[in-house]
Amino acid sequence: MKGFFLSLEGIEGTGKSTQARLLAAYLKSRGYRVVQTAEPGGTPISLKIRELLLSHDSREMDPITELLLYNAARVQHIREVIAPALTRGDIAISDRFSDSTLAYQGYGRGIDRQVIDALDAVATGCMRPNLTLILDVDVETGLRRNKEMKKNDRLELEDVTFHQKVRKGFHEIAAAEPERIRIISCSDSIEAVHEAIKKAVTPYLKKRG
């Protein structure tokens, strides 16, 4: 596909959505056509699945149900938003993609890697972003920031140990694919993080021409 697919990843409270918005605005100002989207979500069907996944009423949800639903939302998201954007030659920026599934459902919940990979192959055909930026902050800071923003969906209610496992997962995922994945520290100001993101993205876009 002609376009460029960029995902932003990370634990809770890294400021991914803000950074996705700033990056999209910056790239648009440079003349790129950009589609900014998010998982789980991006389409009406995926948003309904998101509600189900993140509602406090879903406390009893089995981890495998959770895994299947994130994948289901992703199928629809790729079909309706990401693939058409890349076919048009646009830049698609997604706030989360399949690395979140490996980090949260794999490392966090402890679901077997082979199961995660098998479902990923069905849902995405092993599609990967051209570039993934993992925004990184320590778990305590991330959870505190989310609390300040009054964000408390079902996964944010998990204990610190769960989020530490997820963070470790993201670090291991990054180490395994250094060509595709960069870690960006988010302890600094929003502006400083935005600058670091611009610096990471620019060479990839130049290479693409």
- By the criterion CB under 6 A, which residues form the site for ligand TMP? 12, 39-40, 70, 95-96, 100-101, 104-105, 155
Least distance to ligand TMP, CB of residue 86, Å: 18
Position closest to ligand TMP via CB: 104
Degrees to nearest 5, angle at CA 160 with 147 and 187: 60
> Contact at 8 Å (CB) between 18 and 11?
no
What is the rounded CA–CA span in Å between residue 75 and residue 122?
A: 9
Our measurement of the distance from residue 33's CA atom to the centroid of its chain's CA atoms, rounded to an integer in Å, reads 20
Least distance to ligand TMP, CB of residue 77, Å: 9
In sequence order, the β-bridge partners of residue 53 are none
Least distance to ligand TMP, CB of residue 121, Å: 15
Looking at beta carbons only, is 88 or 118 nearer to ligand TMP? 118
Q: Strand 34-38 to strand 4-10: parallel, antiparallel, or no bridges (unpaired)?
A: unpaired
Least distance to ligand TMP, CB of residue 203, Å: 26
> Contact at 8 Å (CB) between 99 and 132?
yes
Looking at beta carbons only, is 33 or 140 nearer to ligand TMP? 140
Looking at beta carbons only, is 29 or 159 nearer to ligand TMP? 159
C-alpha distances (whole Å) from 146 to each of 11, 121, 160 are 11, 32, 13
Q: Strand 4-10 to strand 91-95: parallel, antiparallel, or no bridges (unpaired)?
A: parallel
> Contact at 8 Å (CB) between 58 and 20?
no
Least distance to ligand TMP, CB of residue 132, Å: 13
Least distance to ligand TMP, CB of residue 40, Å: 5
What is the rounded CA–CA span in Å between residue 108 and residue 124?
A: 21
Looking at beta carbons only, is 3 or 142 nearer to ligand TMP? 142
Looking at beta carbons only, is 144 or 205 nearer to ligand TMP? 144
Looking at beta carbons only, is 95 or 136 nearer to ligand TMP? 95
Q: Under DSSP, is residue 62 helix (H, G, I), strand (E, B) or coil?
A: coil
